[in-house]
Structure 1
Amino acid sequence: MTKFLTLFLFLIAAIQVIKPLGWPGLKKRSDAWKLVAGVVCITFASLVLSALFQG
């Protein structure tokens, strides 16, 4: 599930660079870094949670 979510968000970031989505906070092409930062945070959080519940 995490890999799918990461891939999905990276694809949205690529689309943002090509043609801005126009969503709140994503009006310019240069706002793609916000999506990439979100991907990094989600990936890091999933790694930490999986390590905590690894038993």
Structure 2
Amino acid sequence: MVKLLGLLVVITMVLHLIKPIGLPGLRRRRDAWKIAMILIVSMMVAVVVRPG
């Protein structure tokens, strides 16, 4: 699950650098670091919620 999230976010960051997504807070190319922060938080949540 964590590897899938990582791959998905890396693809999203590359696509955002090519053409900005346009969501609030992600309107400029230099906002790609915010996607990385979302990745870090989502990976931490996945590790905490993971069973056993």
Aligned sequence identity (%): 33
What pairs up with 1:39-54 in 2 under 5 angstroms? 39-50=39-50, 53-54=51-52
Which TM-score applies when normalising by structure 2? 0.76
Q: Which runs of 5+ in 1 are unaligned?
A: none
Indicate the structure (1 or 2) with the bigger Cα radius of gyration: 1
Structure 1 runs of 4+ aligned residues shifted over 4 Å read none
Judge conservation of contact 2:5–2:43 (CA < 8 Å) in 1. Answer: no
What 5-or-longer segments of structure 2 have no aligned partner?
Answer: none
Higher deviation after alignment, 37-46 or 18-27: 18-27
- Structure with the greater relative contact order (CA < 8 A, sep ≥ 6): 1 or 2? 2
**C-alpha deviation, 1:21, in angstroms:** 1.6
CA RMSD, aligned part only?
Answer: 1.5
Distance 2:4 2:42 in 1: 12
TM-score normalised according to structure 1 size? 0.73
